[in-house]
């Protein structure tokens, strides 16, 4: 009998738990430890952020589902990792602290045979002075709560414009010099623009995209060459075309350093210190690790064996210049090299380096996007980790399931406006996610047949279909496993 503990119940953690429970017999224990009570389908938060979906449409409670399916669940946060046990507990364990119910505030040692760290990122708002969702007229759509507040503020502004006929400024993009998740901000800006048109106030609002990207359409993936209709286009050209069509201005290479009431201060790649004013902003924060600590059997600090901000896995972390980066640097099994029963799929693993070319301002400030790791790779990597654990339990000596982001495709169905007949979406696929410049030297590291873009109403229908399909899958309804990650 084996006990598998999964930390986190986001896309990666929940995917791993679901597959483990389905494929392992009941004599094996699957236990999820998560500080969150609900599973949320994060990609739909942008629709909550414009008021077209309620927060209840994008989440459901985990405990009843886990109870029905035979998955253990503790609403608790991890305090520390003890992969060798300690003086009193011979088995490896994580120390957790309960966040709800009768056990609130109590700590417990949760032992395991296998540990999946799927704790995702910490939303590090504190890394940008004054950036705190709901203050200084700046909002976030990173969680359904944040998105609900963003929607209320956006509609308050729309009502104000309608009643006063005064002009307003909206600023959307990244709130830190090394933030990632440009895709979510990109979707949000297009949805906000569409809502302003719907409420007939578009002509009163100046909308500006602000981002740490060097070029539009970088998305933290070094941009891409893609097929669009009958031509080959750079993602920068495609995004520029869309922004020009919607009358959206843009500021690039901007590392926001401070947010005050209706004003951001930023440094650009030229080393200039500039400001931009706004009446409503949605700024994606930096992501960071959770600052976990790890200890060995003798209670000595071994954090460096497990963490490098995020969790250390089978990547090549040796420092080298951009020109020497290779697709082979990226992990394949997400296994910690020091403890082979610990894995970190999804966003919890430490990337070997960024995907976009690192850039510094003339003052030496690093301004470039961190690598994105969205829902699709999170689900795929979680499933392969679950499959490897199952194989190991069944006696396999090596890990057969591999999934490098350098040999994995991804689809980004970016909503560009909500509405069954008037909606729009930008469908982009890329293969591989991390460009392989040796394999595809002529096409910016990507296979053109599998890297394409399309704009239109079908994109909205696709995004909406995915919303329902993935919530169905997450609820583990009949034949859920037939839906790919």
Partner 1 sequence: MTQKISKQEHAKMKNPIIQFFKFIYLSLKIMRIVAGGHGGTRP
By CB under 8 A, tell whether 398 contacts partner 1.
no
Closer of 357 and 422 to partner 1 (Cβ): 422
In the three-class reduction of DSSP (H, G, I as helix; E, B as strand; rest coil), residue 310 is classed as strand
DSSP state, 366? B
Residue 67's φ and ψ, nearest 5 degrees, are: -65, -45
By CB under 8 A, tell whether 453 contacts partner 1.
no
Angle at 448 between CA 443 and CA 449, to 5 degrees: 160
Three-state SS string over 315-347 comes to CCCCCCCHHHCCHHHCCCCCECCCCCCEECCCC
Q: What is the dihedral of CA 17, 22, 28, 33, to 10 degrees?
A: 20
Q: Token pair of 227, please?
A: 């097929």
Segment 358 to 377, residues that bind partner 1, using CB under 8 A? 376
Closer of 50 and 242 to partner 1 (Cβ): 242
Closer of 152 and 457 to partner 1 (Cβ): 457
Report the residue from 44, 431, 443, 445 that binds partner 1 according to the rule CB under 8 A. 431
Report the residue from 99, 197, 251, 462 that binds partner 1 according to the rule CB under 8 A. 462
Pair 350, 313: CB distance under 8 Å: yes
Q: Which stretch binds partner 1 (CB under 8 A): 65-73, 257-265, 351-359, 451-459?
A: 451-459
Report the residue from 288, 456, 472, 480 that binds partner 1 according to the rule CB under 8 A. 456
Q: Bridge-partner residues for 430, per DSSP?
A: 410
By CB under 8 A, tell whether 410 contacts partner 1.
yes
Beta strand pairing status for 310-311 and 307-308?
antiparallel
Pair 11, 382: CB distance under 8 Å: yes
Taking alpha carbons only, the member of 276, 284, 273 closest to residue 260 is: 276
* Residue 175 C-beta: closest distance to partner 1, Å: 27
Annotate 342-381 with DSSP letters as a single string.
EE--TTSBPPSS-SSPP-B-TTS-B--PPPP--HHHHHHH
Total binding residues toward partner 1, as defined by CB under 8 A? 44
Q: Which x/- pattern over 2-41 shows residues binding partner 1 (rule: CB under 8 A)?
A: ----------------------------------------
Q: Which stretch binds partner 1 (CB under 8 A): 21-29, 107-115, 132-140, 327-335?
A: 327-335
Rounded Cα gap, residues 57 and 36, in angstroms? 17
Report the residue from 455, 471, 474, 476 that binds partner 1 according to the rule CB under 8 A. 455
Closer of 195 and 485 to partner 1 (Cβ): 485
Segment 245 to 284, residues that bind partner 1, using CB under 8 A? 245
By CB under 8 A, tell whether 328 contacts partner 1.
yes
DSSP state, 215? S
DSSP state, 285? P
Q: Bridge-partner residues for 77, per DSSP?
A: 97
Q: Which x/- pattern over 187-226 shows residues binding partner 1 (rule: CB under 8 A)?
A: ----------------------------------------
Q: Token pair of 101, please?
A: 């119910």
Q: Token pair of 113, please?
A: 């045979």
Q: Token pair of 99, please?
A: 């966040």
Q: Which stretch binds partner 1 (CB under 8 A): 93-101, 132-140, 298-306, 429-437?
A: 429-437
Residues that bind partner 1 (CB under 8 A): 233, 237, 240-242, 244-245, 327-328, 330, 332, 376, 380, 384, 402-404, 406-411, 413, 421-422, 424, 427, 429, 431, 436, 450, 452, 454-459, 461-462, 465, 484-485
């Amino acid at each position: 009998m084996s006990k598998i503990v999964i930390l986190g119940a986001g896309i990666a953690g929940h995917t791993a738990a679901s597959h483990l429970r389905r494929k392992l017999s009941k004599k094996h224990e699957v236990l999820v430890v998560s500080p969150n009570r609900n599973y949320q389908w994060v990609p739909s938060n942008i629709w909550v952020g414009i008021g077209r979906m309620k927060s209840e449409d994008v989440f459901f409670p985990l405990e009843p589902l886990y109870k029905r399916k035979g998955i253990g669940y503790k609403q608790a946060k991890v305090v520390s990792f003890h992969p060798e046990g300690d003086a009193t507990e011979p088995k490896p364990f994580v120390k957790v602290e309960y966040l709800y119910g009768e056990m609130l505030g109590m700590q417990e040692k949760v032992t395991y045979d296998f540990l999946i760290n799927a704790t995702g990122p910490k939303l590090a708002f504190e890394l940008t002075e004054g950036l705190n969702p709901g203050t200084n007229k700046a909002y976030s759509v990173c969680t359904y709560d944040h998105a609900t507040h963003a929607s209320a503020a956006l509609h308050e502004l729309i009502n104000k414009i309608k009643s006063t006929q005064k002009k307003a400024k909206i600023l959307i993009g990244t709130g830190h010099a090394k933030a990632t998740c440009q895709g979510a901000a990109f979707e949000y800006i297009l949805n906000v623009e569409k809502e302003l048109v719907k409420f007939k106030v578009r002509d009163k609002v100046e909308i500006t995209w602000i981002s740490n990207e060097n070029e539009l359409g970088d998305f933290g993936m070094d941009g891409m060459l893609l097929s669009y209709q009958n031509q080959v286009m750079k993602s920068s050209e495609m995004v520029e075309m869309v922004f020009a069509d919607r009358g959206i201005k843009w500021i690039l290479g901007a590392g926001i350093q401070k947010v005050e009431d209706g004003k951001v201060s930023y440094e650009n790649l030229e080393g200039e210190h500039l400001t931009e004013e706004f009446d409503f902003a949605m700024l994606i924060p930096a992501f960071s690790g959770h600052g976990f600590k790890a200890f060995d059997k003798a209670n000595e600090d071994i954090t460096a064996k497990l963490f490098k901000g995020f969790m250390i896995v089978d990547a090549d972390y040796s420092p080298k210049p951009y020109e020497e980066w290779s697709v082979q640097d990226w992990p394949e099994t997400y296994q910690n090299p020091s403890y082979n029963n610990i894995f970190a799929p999804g966003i919890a693993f430490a990337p070997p380096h960024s995907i976009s070319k690192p850039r510094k301002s003339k003052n030496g400030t690093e301004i470039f996007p961190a690598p994105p790791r969205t829902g699709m790779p999170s689900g795929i990597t979680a499933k392969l980790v679950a499959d490897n654990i199952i194989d190991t339990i069944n006696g396999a000596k090596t890990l057969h399931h591999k999934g490098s982001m350098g040999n994995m495709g991804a689809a980004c169905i970016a909503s560009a406006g909500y509405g069954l007949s008037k909606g729009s979406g930008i469908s982009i696929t890329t293969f591989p996610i991390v460009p392989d410049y040796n394999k595809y030297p002529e096409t910016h590291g990507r296979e053109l047949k599998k890297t394409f873009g399309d704009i239109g109403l079908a994109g909205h229908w696709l995004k909406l279909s995915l919303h329902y399909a993935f919530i169905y899958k997450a609820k583990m309804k009949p034949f859920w496993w037939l839906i790919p990650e």
